Amino acid sequence: MKKVCFFSCCLGVLSFANSFNTNVYVGATAGKIDKHNYSQFGIGYTANKRFDNNILMGFGNSIYYGEVKSNKSATTVDMDLKVGYEIIQDLRAYAIGSGAVQYYDNSTYTGLGYGASLEYRITPKFAVEGTYKTMNMRKSNHSYDYDSANLAFKVGF
């Protein structure tokens, strides 16, 4: 049921995103699960709205995959809510609240967390973004921390 609600919310947010500045991105992430460091790769989508006072609000969805250790991989789908500020022209800083569903070690975990990102817009349609997030993932009586540091290349449309 949680998965259905999560994906319904994602689709609902996407449906009113027409007035937002949207970007598609590919990225590489350094992840950490259960004290195991690993690399993961993924794709995502962000949508932001800039107000007259340089405040930015938006959201992002992504899916990442990586092999944590031999015969154990992780697939993560997350949604971020972002509030930011354009510090100087083309340099933006964001605070992030995040929710995720992660398939790891033949089980599905859900979690909430927070993070921050810094984005530099090279052109109006191309940007580079660095992000750090930490989440506590849970299933029944087992939980673990999931940390990620991401570098993404964004293309706008």
In terms of pLDDT, which residue wins out, 2 or 42? 42
Q: How much is the mean pLDDT over the chain?
A: 87
Whether the CB-CB separation of 17 and 45 falls below 8 Å is answered with no
Q: Which domains, ranges and CATH numbers included, belong to the chain? A: 2-156 (2.40.160.20)
Tens digit of each residue's pLDDT (9 = 90 or more) over 67-103 = 998 788 999 999 999 999 999 999 999 999 999 999 9
Question: Residue 48: exposed, middle, or buried by beta-carbon count in 10 A (0-12, 13-18, 19+)?
Answer: buried
- Token pair belonging to 108: 């599905």
Give me 69's structure tokens: 């250790």
DSSP class per residue in 42-64? EEEEEEEEE-TTSEEEEEEEEEE
Is residue 12 pLDDT above 90, yes or no? no
Q: What pLDDT digit, counting tens, does each position of 30-52 carry? A: 999 988 999 999 999 999 998 88
Give the integer Cα–Cα distance in Å for 139 and 154.
Answer: 33
